[in-house]
Amino acid sequence: MPRETSPRKALVNAWAIVLVLVASAATVQWTSQSRLGPVNDELANFPSGLALVTTGVQADPTHPPLARYLMAAPLLAAGVDPKASHPALGRDWHAYGREVAFRNVLSWRTVLDLARLPIVLACAALVLLAAFEARRRWGDAAGLATAAVLAFEPSILGHGALATTDLGITLAVFGATMAFDRFLRAPSGWRLLGVSALVAIATLTKFAGIVLVPIFGVAWFMHRWVVRRRTAGPRPAGRPRIRAGWWVAAVLLPVLMTWAAYGFEVSSIGEDPQIRGLREAAAVQKGIADAAAKVGMTADQLTNLPIPGYSFLKGFGAQMFHAARQDAWEDKDFYQYLDGRYDRSGFRTYYLFTFLYKSTLPSLALWLAVAGLAAWDAARRRRGAKGISGSALPTSGAGGVLVPDPDTPDADTGNADPRDADALAAARAPSWPVLAVVPALWFVACSIQTINIGHRYVLPVIPFLSMGAGWLVARAVGLAKEGLGVRSAPLSSRLVPALPAVAAIALVVAHAGVSIAAAPDHVAWFNALAGGIEGGHRHLADSNLDWGQDLPLLDADARATCVPPRRCIAAVFGTARPEDYGTPVEPWVEPADPTALPGPVTFYVSENRYLLRSIAHPDGLFPFLSGREPARRVGASIRVYEFP
């Protein structure tokens, strides 16, 4: 008989495979990002971190500082100059960011690599945490599948290697949610403080993190509803509760953490040189005047009022305005784009379509299977029957992601009194009030806002979907083991239960293969439903496709192409400009028509410029390109037209 593998050896083997997956994904990430230039938001992030650490000045107020501090750490260790005396610091982050990145003691490539390194490490930490949580609940197969699906998700590979806040908020949201799940199962004062601190960390990574507060409130309500359904009778007398002091501390801790992250700042509107440079400056000035009148003050008095945590409140307010009025945040006549349609205030179905176009087809199949299996289980339970046997899943965790086996105890029962049915029900409650409700509500929150500028806004949903895929694989593997273990049945009958496991594992492998093949264009990648990268512009724009990442490729192409007498002209998107790379192209100036110029002309147009529509430009910026197909492309995001 074959020797059984010891639990300890199985654990070591499982984590060895997870580490190989993480290392492989990180290798793909690093080699891919080395071909990309700084994307639009990167020049707002790591230069701001440098400025905050060295001068205390907010280079860009519209995002909180925590992730930026992390990006700045390796730059400071390498001796990168923060350009503290540059006149644009505190007034124009675009100019300041370009100065830090392109005119420093180290090359722009080295500066960018150093800034991106902490994000790549954070991405690895996210995959490891998700694998740990999946394995803790549903066993080795779930942990391995979760790691593979998450590590090789194209959007995670792409944005997990950029010096932006998107991967950071994904990790923070996932970590806070896992801590909240533990708190619900075994409440304690220290766990409450842990959740509070992690919500603060999420908010200090990206202001959107604050939405976890109402989301967790809904998840708590759903959890309690499930617990009440599983218990009957009065609560036991004298059951310990979390004292009021812990709740007060849980409210005060995020306030203190936030103020500390901003250097215990006390400032006023009048001391802020940026306030007139914000895109919503006119609205801010009007708001100040209206607010002053309501409290019986003059605008000058209110402007000079000292405000603790002023920069946090200013940035938070700016982002709330952004979320509510993307149409006003951008150019006054700017349109948002989806599937060839344009709209001022965006599309409520936008993020549904970004998932449809930006996810691999195997991952879409896995997630549909998760939803189908969960619905099937739920229907069977409502009829009084059990779904797939809990014994089919070798695990110490709480059943399934969405509808677990109610008889499977959770590994984390805390110090629940076995005589306290309510406490035991809380510890053994199903996972769906947290693992399904939290990402679902995050998706809804993104969908009801007016910001339609990138799939990256819903990245925090992906770790939960990956855990769903892990649950599905674990269920399928458990079913296969159960079928193969029936020695008395014919071999053909024993193999049939293994088919779902084979299919699920094949989908995971195919998902990883598709993502690896997409390198280095994970940011701009689209699946076959969208027509691939070449067809992506028919469906989405902005950071889904063109974030300024291909300017290094434009530079290489122009150096080979732009030889006199050929003239080269470029209209490209991004904070970085071709002149920062020394690219031999002329900037396009509206409404110049390159087709009317004498001699040979090469015209480079990035997709965001090509797709832009507005009230002033109903036919776009380049009507002279109507009906013309590009001669070729540079990277994934730049069209090349040759005239004549």
pTM recorded for the entire structure: 0.90
Question: CB–CB of 338/611 below 8 Å?
Answer: no
CA distance 609 to 590: 12
In terms of C-beta distances under 8 Å and separation of at least 24 residues, what long-range contacts does 323-330 make, across chains too? 323/208, 323/449, 323/450, 323/451, 324/449, 324/450, 325/450, 326/449, 326/450, 326/451, 326/452, 326/453, 327/450, 328/280, 328/283, 329/279, 329/280, 330/279
Looking up tokens 């998760």 gives 370
Rounded to an integer, the average pLDDT of 163-173 is: 97
Rounded to an integer, the average pLDDT of 234-252 is: 78
CA distance 128 to 151: 9
**pLDDT tens-digit series, residues 289-334:** 888 888 888 888 888 899 999 999 988 888 887 676 665 555 556 7
CA distance 241 to 442: 30
Lowest mean pLDDT among 327-336, 464-473, 567-576: 327-336
According to DSSP, the β-strands at 586-587 and 567-571 are parallel
CA distance 296 to 270: 18
Predicted confidence band of residue 617 (pLDDT cuts 50, 70, 90): confident
The pair of three-digit structure tokens given for residue 316, joined into one six-digit string: 């938070």
Query: Given a cut of 80, is residue 173 above it in pLDDT?
Result: yes
Q: Is 307 helix (H, G, I), strand (E, B) or coil?
A: strand
Predicted confidence band of residue 422 (pLDDT cuts 50, 70, 90): low
Query: Given a cut of 70, is residue 238 above it in pLDDT?
Result: no
DSSP summary character for residue 241: -
How many residues would you count in the chain? 644
CA distance 119 to 123: 6
Q: What is the pLDDT of residue 528?
A: 96
Q: Which alpha helices (H) appear in 103-208, and where do they start and end? A: 108-138, 140-151, 154-159, 166-185, 189-205
Lowest mean pLDDT among 56-70, 127-141, 230-244, 537-551: 230-244
